[in-house]
Amino acid sequence: MAKQLINGKCYDWTSITIHVSGMDSIEIQEISYDDEQEMEIIYGKGGKIRGQGYGNKKNSVKISLLREDFNEMVRVIKKKGYKSFYAYTIPKITVSFADDGAQTSTDVLTDVKFSKRSMKAAQGDKSMKVDLDGTAIGGIKMNGLGA
């Protein structure tokens, strides 16, 4: 049976708290993450399924942040002695979902390394964002359960 919502409220953006380990002043504007496990069905005689085989796992992370917060992230990375943005590993990104009266749900992304950064500016923009794509090398645990 599904847990009852408090006053019918579902999680929304105001329910989320995101903490980037070692970068307390950075505010993330958008986050998405997913994990997957390759699986292949193994067939036997007569085309019947005999079992399955497993391959590689993949843990993708995407974040968007204001250019000012990206600049702060770069400042922190440089201060730690890194010469390359891509050499730095964020030990942990914690995403917590909580509403008044409801139990907190926490997802943890560990050992996050970024492999792509994108910036776009256009006439009429009210803010500038930087998009970062990467991998949670240490894995993704959603509400305490790993893949």
Domains along the chain?
6-142 (2.30.110)
C-beta neighbour count of 127 within 10 angstroms: 9
Amino acid code (one letter) for 127? S
Q: Which two tokens stand for residue 55?
A: 């391959």
CA atoms lying within 13 Å on the CB side of residue 88: 19
Task: Check residue 46 and give its pLDDT.
Answer: 94
The pLDDT of 87-113, averaged and rounded, is 90
Report field, pTM of the whole predicted structure over 0.95? no
The pLDDT of 69-80, averaged and rounded, is 96
